[in-house]
C-alpha cells in the first residue's frame, strides 16, 4: 500500500473535521444497520482526535466497546474515470468501514493504515456516506493485549501498559484518486561506498499491461542524477550526498508507468535518504560511523486531543528535541503518525520504530499496574492467535515505514515477559517475521528489568540489546550509590554478550516545582542526580551506544496509586515546560554533539 499523495496522476482529499459520533454501549448498531443512514442520537466529534477527553464525561473517557463515526463527503467531479480509494491512516484499535450501505473493509491494529477501492460504489460529483465502526476493546488476542474483568459495578477493561488507552480516529482519513494502471508498492534500499551511493528499488504495479516502469532520481535542487527502466533495478549516484543524523538530505525518486506512446499513466514520488545501517560487534554504525543514540522514549500524547496527530505539536516537539540536543527517539510504544517519520527524515532525527506490542507481561502488570493472576503465555491468554496478530503488526509496520531513512532499528515489543520458555517460543518466529519483512535493518526488542542478564531468553535473537532500567527508582529508590553499583554490575554482564546496548528507558518521576536540598525522589534535583548517575554508568561501558531517557514529556495513564495525574517521568511537563533535568540533559547532549564527551 502506498501513502496517498498528489502527483501528476494522483490526487487526495482530506476528510478531517467534525464527524458524527455515537458510542454503542450495547453493540447494537451493526445488527440494527446504523451504517444504512444518518447516525441518529449522534454528537459531533473531531477527527483526528482521541474521543476520550473531548467530552466532559467520565463514562465517555473510560468507554470501551463499539464506537461509530460517520460523515458524508463529495467525490470531486474531476475524478471521473479514476480509481477511488478510501484510506484511513489509523483507527484505534480496529475498525469496520461502510461506504453507503456496503461494507468495504475491516482492519485490526490501532496504528497502521488500511484502505479500500470504492470506485464501484461512488459517483464523481456526488456524495457518499462513510461510516466507521471503531472498537477499542483490548483482549488477549489484541496487540496491545488486555482483558475485560467483571466487577461488582460491571465490566472493566484491564490492560498492562502504562499509558491511557486513548482511542478513535487519531489520524487523517483520505479520499484518493489513482489511475487504474497504477504503482502499488515501492521498496528502496540504499548503499554507500567510497563516496558513491546506490539506490536499489523494487516496484509493483497493478493493471499495468502495456506500461513500462521508468524511474528518475533527482537531487534536492531537482537535477536528475540517475535514471533507469524496469520494475526493479539499481541506480548509481556518484558523489552522493548521504542522509546522516543531524544532516538530512533527501533525493526524490519518481516512479512512472509509461506506455508505448510515452504517455505517463501513473507517477509516484518517494523521498530517499541514502544511508547505511550496520551492527558490527558492539557498535551501531550509520554510514559506517559509530552512532550514539541520545534522546527519549516518547508518546503521542497531548492534553485534550490525546493521541491525535497535530502538526503544531509535531513541530514544537521536534524544536524541543533540537533545543535539548537529542538526535533520536523511540516510537514507544506503537507506530507513530507517518507525518512524524516524514519530519524525522527531513530533519535528520534517528528513530527506533516500535510495534504496539506492549504489556505482554502480566507478571509485571500484576506487580505494578494492577490486574493480577494471569499467566502471560498460555493457551487461554497470549497464544498462537495473538502471535499471528503480532506478526501481522510487524509486517504492517515494516510495510509502512521501510522507506524512511530515519528508521534504523525495529523494536518488535516493549518489556514482554522474556525469562520463560513460553516467551522464547513465542518470540523466536517473530524475529524471523521481522527479518523476512526487512533484511536490511537490525531487529530487537526492549528488555525489562525483571529479565536481567542470564535470565532473559529472548535477547539471544536480537541484533541490538535494548534495556529499560530503573535502578534508583523502582529499585534502590533514593539510594543512588547502591543503584550505581548494581547497575554497573548488570550492564557489564550484558556487555559481555558482544552486542551494542541501547538504554531505551531510564527515568524518575518528578513533580515540577518540587525542590529538595537533599536528593529526594520526586524532586527536580533527584531527577537530575538520577540521570547523572546513569550517565556515569553508561560512560564507563563501551558497549553502550545509546541513552534514551524515559520520557520526553509527562503523559496520561490510567489512574492508580502509582501515578499522580499520569506518568511524571517527563523531562518536559505534559504542556512541554522544562524541568531542571531538561537543562542538565541539554548541557550533556550538546557537549557530546560537539565532541567533548566520548
Q: Which is nearer to ligand GCB, 291 or 550 (CB)?
A: 550
Q: Which residue among 256, 400, 569, 574 contacts ligand GCB (CB under 6 A)? A: 569
Q: Which is nearer to ligand GCB, 353 or 415 (CB)?
A: 415
Q: Which residue among 338, 505, 529, 554 contacts ligand GCB (CB under 6 A)? A: 505
Given a contact cutoff of 8 angstroms between Cβ atoms, the answer to whether 572 and 527 are in contact is no
Which residues are registered as beta bridge partners of 232?
202
Q: Considering the rule CB under 6 A, would residue 414 count as an interface residue with ligand GCB?
A: yes
Q: Which is nearer to ligand GCB, 215 or 360 (CB)?
A: 360
Q: Considering the rule CB under 6 A, would residue 89 count as an interface residue with ligand GCB?
A: no
> Taking the complex as a whole, how short is the minimal distance between the CB of residue 339 and ligand GCB, in angstroms?
23
Q: Which residue among 20, 447, 468, 510 contacts ligand GCB (CB under 6 A)? A: 468
> Taking the complex as a whole, how short is the minimal distance between the CB of residue 478 and ligand GCB, in angstroms?
16
Cα separation, 494 vs 451, in Å, equals 12
3-state helix/strand/coil string of 195-220: CEEEEEEEEEEECCCCEEEEEEEECC
Cα separation, 114 vs 206, in Å, equals 18
> Taking the complex as a whole, how short is the minimal distance between the CB of residue 334 and ligand GCB, in angstroms?
11
For residue 385, give the C-alpha cell.
492467535
Cα separation, 19 vs 38, in Å, equals 11
Nearest-CA neighbor of 512 among 560, 576, 588, 587?
Answer: 576
Q: Which is nearer to ligand GCB, 386 or 548 (CB)?
A: 548
Given a contact cutoff of 8 angstroms between Cβ atoms, the answer to whether 539 and 533 are in contact is no
Nearest-CA neighbor of 30 among 86, 70, 72, 68?
Answer: 68
> Taking the complex as a whole, how short is the minimal distance between the CB of residue 358 and ligand GCB, in angstroms?
7
Residues 172-211 that bind ligand GCB (CB under 6 A): none
> Taking the complex as a whole, how short is the minimal distance between the CB of residue 418 and ligand GCB, in angstroms?
13
Q: Considering the rule CB under 6 A, would residue 354 count as an interface residue with ligand GCB?
A: no
Q: Considering the rule CB under 6 A, would residue 567 count as an interface residue with ligand GCB?
A: yes
Cα separation, 45 vs 16, in Å, equals 10
Q: Which is nearer to ligand GCB, 135 or 567 (CB)?
A: 567
Nearest-CA neighbor of 404 among 446, 438, 357, 443?
Answer: 438
Q: Which residue among 108, 415, 417, 529 contacts ligand GCB (CB under 6 A)? A: 415
Q: Which is nearer to ligand GCB, 503 or 545 (CB)?
A: 503
Please say whether the dihedral angle defined by the alpha carbons of residues 354, 360, 362 and 363, taken in this order, is positive or negative.
negative
For residue 579, give the C-alpha cell.
524541568
For residue 573, give the C-alpha cell.
511537563
Residues 139-178 that bind ligand GCB (CB under 6 A): 162
Q: Between the CA atoms of 361, 363, 367 and 368, what dihedral angle is there, to the nearest 10 degrees?
A: 0
Binding mask 90-129 for ligand GCB (x = CB under 6 A): ----------------------------------------
Helix, strand or coil for residue 179? coil
> Taking the complex as a whole, how short is the minimal distance between the CB of residue 451 and ligand GCB, in angstroms?
12
Cα separation, 53 vs 170, in Å, equals 13
Q: Which is nearer to ligand GCB, 309 or 558 (CB)?
A: 558
Other beta carbons within 10 angstroms of residue 522's beta carbon come to 15
Q: Which is nearer to ligand GCB, 172 or 551 (CB)?
A: 551
Other beta carbons within 10 angstroms of residue 304's beta carbon come to 12
Q: Which is nearer to ligand GCB, 112 or 361 (CB)?
A: 361
Q: Which is nearer to ligand GCB, 4 or 566 (CB)?
A: 566
Cα separation, 114 vs 221, in Å, equals 33
For residue 188, give the C-alpha cell.
528502496
> Taking the complex as a whole, how short is the minimal distance between the CB of residue 506 and ligand GCB, in angstroms?
10
Q: DSSP character for 153?
A: T
Q: How many residues bind ligand GCB (CB under 6 A)?
A: 9
Task: Establish whether 505 is a catalytic residue.
Answer: yes
Cα separation, 181 vs 82, in Å, equals 10
Q: Considering the rule CB under 6 A, would residue 50 count as an interface residue with ligand GCB?
A: no
Q: Which is nearer to ligand GCB, 197 or 365 (CB)?
A: 365
Cα separation, 90 vs 115, in Å, equals 10
> Taking the complex as a whole, how short is the minimal distance between the CB of residue 328 and ligand GCB, in angstroms?
17
Q: Considering the rule CB under 6 A, would residue 550 count as an interface residue with ligand GCB?
A: yes
Catalytic residue among 89, 484, 505, 547: 505
Cα separation, 43 vs 256, in Å, equals 44
Cα separation, 243 vs 403, in Å, equals 13
Given a contact cutoff of 8 angstroms between Cβ atoms, the answer to whether 206 and 83 are in contact is no
For residue 91, give the C-alpha cell.
483507527
Query: 111: burial class by Cβ within 10 Å (0-12, 13-18, 19+)?
Result: buried
> Taking the complex as a whole, how short is the minimal distance between the CB of residue 78 and ligand GCB, in angstroms?
47
Given a contact cutoff of 8 angstroms between Cβ atoms, the answer to whether 278 and 288 are in contact is yes
> Taking the complex as a whole, how short is the minimal distance between the CB of residue 301 and ligand GCB, in angstroms?
11
> Taking the complex as a whole, how short is the minimal distance between the CB of residue 556 and ligand GCB, in angstroms?
11
Catalytic residue among 338, 354, 415, 484: 415
- The string of DSSP letters for 262-304 reads --EEEEEEEEE----EEEETTEEEETTEE--EEEEE----BTT
Q: Enumerate binding residues for ligand GCB (CB under 6 A).
A: 162, 333, 414-415, 468, 505, 550, 567, 569
Q: Which residues does the annotation mark as catalytic?
A: 415, 505
Amino acid at each position: 500500500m502506498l501513502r496517498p499523495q498528489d502527483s501528476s496522476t494522483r490526487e487526495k482529499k482530506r476528510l478531517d473535521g467534525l464527524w458524527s459520533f455515537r458510542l454503542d454501549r450495547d453493540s447494537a448498531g451493526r445488527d440494527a444497520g446504523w451504517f444504512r443512514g444518518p447516525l441518529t442520537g449522534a454528537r459531533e466529534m473531531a477527527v483526528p482526535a482521541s474521543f476520550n477527553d473531548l467530552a466532559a464525561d467520565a463514562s465517555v473517557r473510560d468507554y470501551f466497546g463499539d464506537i461509530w463515526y460517520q460523515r458524508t463527503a463529495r467525490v470531486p467531479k474531476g475524478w471521473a474515470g479514476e480509481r477511488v480509494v478510501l484510506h484511513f491512516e489509523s483507527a484505534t484499535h480496529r475498525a469496520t468501514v461502510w461506504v453507503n450501505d456496503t461494507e468495504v473493509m475491516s482492519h485490526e491494529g490501532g496504528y497502521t493504515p488500511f484502505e479500500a477501492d470504492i470506485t464501484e460504489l461512488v459517483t464523481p460529483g456526488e456524495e457518499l456516506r462513510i461510516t466507521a465502526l471503531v472498537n477499542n476493546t483490548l483482549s488477549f488476542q489484541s496487540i496491545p493485549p488486555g482483558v475485560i474483568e467483571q466487577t461488582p459495578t460491571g465490566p472493566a477493561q484491564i490492560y498492562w501498559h502504562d499509558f491511557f488507552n486513548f482511542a478513535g480516529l487519531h489520524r487523517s482519513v483520505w479520499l484518493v484518486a489513482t489511475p487504474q494502471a497504477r504503482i502499488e508498492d515501492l521498496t528502496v534500499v540504499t548503499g554507500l561506498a567510497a563516496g558513491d551511493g546506490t539506490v536499489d528499488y523494487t516496484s509493483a504495479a497493478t493493471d499495468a499491461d502495456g506500461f513500462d516502469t521508468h524511474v528518475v532520481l533527482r537531487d534536492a535542487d531537482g537535477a536528475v542524477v540517475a535514471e533507469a527502466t524496469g520494475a526493479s533495478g539499481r541506480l548509481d549516484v556518484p558523489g552522493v550526498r548521504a542522509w546522516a543524523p543531524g544532516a538530512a538530505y533527501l533525493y526524490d525518486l519518481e516512479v512512472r508507468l509509461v506506455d508505448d506512446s510515452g504517455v505517463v499513466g501513473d507517477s509516484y514520488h518517494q523521498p530517499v535518504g541514502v544511508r547505511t545501517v550496520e551492527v558490527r560487534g558492539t557498535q551501531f554504525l550509520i554510514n559506517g560511523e559509530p552512532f550514539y543514540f541520545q534522546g527519549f522514549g516518547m508518546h503521542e500524547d497531548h492534553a485534550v486531543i490525546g493521541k491525535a496527530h497535530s502538526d503544531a505539536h509535531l513541530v514544537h516537539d521536534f524544536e524541543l528535541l533540537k533545543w535539548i540536543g537529542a538526535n533520536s527517539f523511540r516510537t514507544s510504544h506503537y507506530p507513530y503518525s507517518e507525518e512524524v517519520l516524514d519530519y524525522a527524515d527531513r530533519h535528520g532525527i534517528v528513530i527506533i520504530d516500535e510495534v504496539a506490542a506492549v504489556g505482554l507481561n502480566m507478571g509485571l502488570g500484576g506487580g505494578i499496574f494492577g490486574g493480577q493472576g494471569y499467566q502471560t503465555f498460555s493457551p487461554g491468554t497470549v497464544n498462537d492467535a495473538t502471535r499471528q496478530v503480532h506478526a501481522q503488526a510487524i509486517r504492517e509496520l515494516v510495510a509502512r515505514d521501510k522507506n524512511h531513512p530515519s528508521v534504523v532499528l525495529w523494536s518488535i515489543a516493549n518489556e514482554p515477559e522474556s525469562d520463560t520458555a513460553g516467551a522464547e517460543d513465542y518470540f523466536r518466529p517473530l524475529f524471523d517475521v521481522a527479518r523476512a519483512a526487512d533484511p536490511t535493518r537490525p531487529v530487537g526488542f526492549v528488555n525489562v528489568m525483571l529479565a536481567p542478564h542470564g535470565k532473559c531468553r529472548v535477547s539471544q535473537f536480537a541484533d541490538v540489546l535494548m534495556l529499560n532500567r530503573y535502578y534508583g527508582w523502582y529499585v534502590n529508590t533514593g539510594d543512588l550509590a547502591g543503584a550505581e553499583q548494581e547497575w554497573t554490575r548488570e550492564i557489564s554482564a550484558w556487555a559481555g554478550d558482544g552486542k551494542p546496548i541501547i538504554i531505551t528507558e531510564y527515568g524518575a518521576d518528578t513533580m515540577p516545582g518540587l525542590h529538595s536540598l537533599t536528593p529526594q525522589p520526586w524532586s527536580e534535583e533527584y531527577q537530575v542526580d538520577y540521570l547523572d548517575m546513569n550517565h556515569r554508568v553508561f560512560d564507563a561501558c563501551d558497549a553502550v551506544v545509546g541513552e534514551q531517557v524515559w520520557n520526553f514529556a509527562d503523559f496520561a495513564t490510567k489512574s492508580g496509586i502509582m501515578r499522580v495525574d499520569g506518568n511524571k517521568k517527563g523531562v518536559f511537563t505534559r504542556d512541554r515546560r522544562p524541568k531542571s533535568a531538561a537543562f542538565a540533559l541539554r548541557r550533556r547532549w550538546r557537549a557530546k554533539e560537539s565532541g567533548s564527551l566520548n
